[in-house]
Amino acid sequence: MSPKTNIRPPGHILALKPYVPGKPIEELKRELGLRSIIKLASNENPYGMSSKACEAAKEVLQKSSRYPEGSGFVLKKALAEHLSVSPETLVLGNGSNEVLELIARTFVMPNDEVIFWQYAFAVYPLLVQAVSAKAVIIPIHNWAYDLTPALSAITPKTRLIFIANPNNPTGYALSGKALLSFIKAVPSHIPIVIDEAYHEYQIQKDYQTALPWIQKNPNLIVTRTFSKAYGLAGFRVGYSVSDGKIAGFLNCIRQPFNVNTVAQAAALAALEDQTFVQDSVEKNTQERDAVCKALESLKLSFIPSTANFVAIDFKQPAYPIYQALLREGVIVRPLQNYAMPHHLRVTIGSRKENDRFIKALKKILLGPVTK
């Protein structure tokens, strides 16, 4: 049935374009009738989740006839200990995306300005548009954040700054030193979100989490997630750490039961299994190196990444290559909605998945090997 309603939302809502997620495995199965498909499109953990998290989730399923623990008391207590912060500084979200949305709704009014960088995580522009604010986008050169132009872009209307460290889809990470000097230069009445979705994967020496800086810079809000290294993307659990007062505001506009019982239990058990996380991170580093070497041997350029994905530059429209990979049963992420039409973003998978991806790529780029 075609829509018949004459109801129209306000202009800023009409202008919204939906977030385009990675193609689901089941969808490609339906479309192409392929049996074996690998998905390297959404930066999920290829090793799944901690078996302890899975067990914990199963155990509490029965309890789901009751409302969840609304304040997330137990999970927050464990997180607080893990991060050496106090529970009052934490806000739990249905994925860190929800926390990002809470932040925008809490601080930004229509026509206010929000600063972020070109090629930033696609969720930021959506959130800004949804609150009818103006996105102030700082240009990027060589995939690196230029921090000085962002300082010059601050006006009396600036209400929020988003920085993903490292960024998705580029994989670029700022040094702790550069980030801290930027933070210190921003007026203290402007909240700065440091999105650390890939924090666990950062092993390079010059990386620093922004967490310990909150004390001296109470305009900082650090967000993290259980979706990536912890392998709980389907459970939807993320959180922010900030000054207690800011956390209080966010908790006020948060839906009372935004993180469900099963997700809370899974996250708690996942947090307690740091061995699983470390193991995943180690394998990711090895496999990322291996994938990058294979790309080099195919003479392909890519953006150096500190995360669990890499953006490959094909120097030509990449969408046909994306489609050809789909026909090989390999789902990766096209980036034309990031205005990066020559790139594809590939999640680092398991050894087997990466081998299959590289093999498919070779076949597409060099043609099938014939005798």
Residues at the interface with ligand PLP (CB under 6 A) = 43, 95-97, 121, 164, 168, 195, 197, 225, 227-228, 233, 238
CB of 175 to ligand PLP, least distance (A): 18
Instruction: List the Cα angle 368/369/371 in 5-degree steps.
Output: 130
CB of 44 to ligand PLP, least distance (A): 9
| Complex with ligand PLP: residue 28 or 123, whichever CB lies closer | 123
CB of 43 to ligand PLP, least distance (A): 6
CB of 231 to ligand PLP, least distance (A): 11
CB of 237 to ligand PLP, least distance (A): 7
- Distance between CA atoms of residues 202 and 93, nearest Å: 23
| 3-state SS string for 30-97 | HHHCCCCCEECCCCCCCCCCCHHHHHHHHHHHHHHHCCCCCCCHHHHHHHHHHHCCCHHHEEEECCHH
Q: Which two tokens stand for residue 92?
A: 């739990």
CB of 347 to ligand PLP, least distance (A): 10
| Complex with ligand PLP: residue 133 or 193, whichever CB lies closer | 193
CB of 167 to ligand PLP, least distance (A): 7
CB of 96 to ligand PLP, least distance (A): 3
| Residues sharing a CB contact under 8 Å with residue 312, sequence separation 6 or more, in sequence order | 295, 300, 301, 302, 318, 343, 344, 345, 346
| Complex with ligand PLP: residue 41 or 364, whichever CB lies closer | 41
Number of residues that make up the chain? 371
| Complex with ligand PLP: residue 280 or 356, whichever CB lies closer | 280
- Distance between CA atoms of residues 226 and 233, nearest Å: 7
CA 107 to chain centre: 21
CB of 11 to ligand PLP, least distance (A): 27
| Complex with ligand PLP: residue 195 or 243, whichever CB lies closer | 195
Edge-to-edge, what's the strand order for the sheet holding 309-313?
Answer: 301-302, 309-313, 343-347, 333-334
CB of 107 to ligand PLP, least distance (A): 18
By beta carbon distance, the residue nearest ligand PLP is 95
| Complex with ligand PLP: residue 207 or 356, whichever CB lies closer | 207
Compute CA distances 19 → 126, 162, 294, whole Å. 8, 18, 31
| Complex with ligand PLP: residue 169 or 329, whichever CB lies closer | 169
Q: Are 315 and 235 in contact (CB under 8 A)?
A: no
| Complex with ligand PLP: residue 39 or 228, whichever CB lies closer | 228
- Distance between CA atoms of residues 210 and 193, nearest Å: 10
| Complex with ligand PLP: residue 78 or 233, whichever CB lies closer | 233
Give phi and psi for 171, each to the nearest 5.
85, 0
Q: Which two tokens stand for residue 140?
A: 């990027």
CA 178 to chain centre: 21
Q: Which two tokens stand for residue 214?
A: 């909150």
| Complex with ligand PLP: residue 20 or 365, whichever CB lies closer | 20
Give phi and psi for 222, each to the nearest 5.
-100, 130
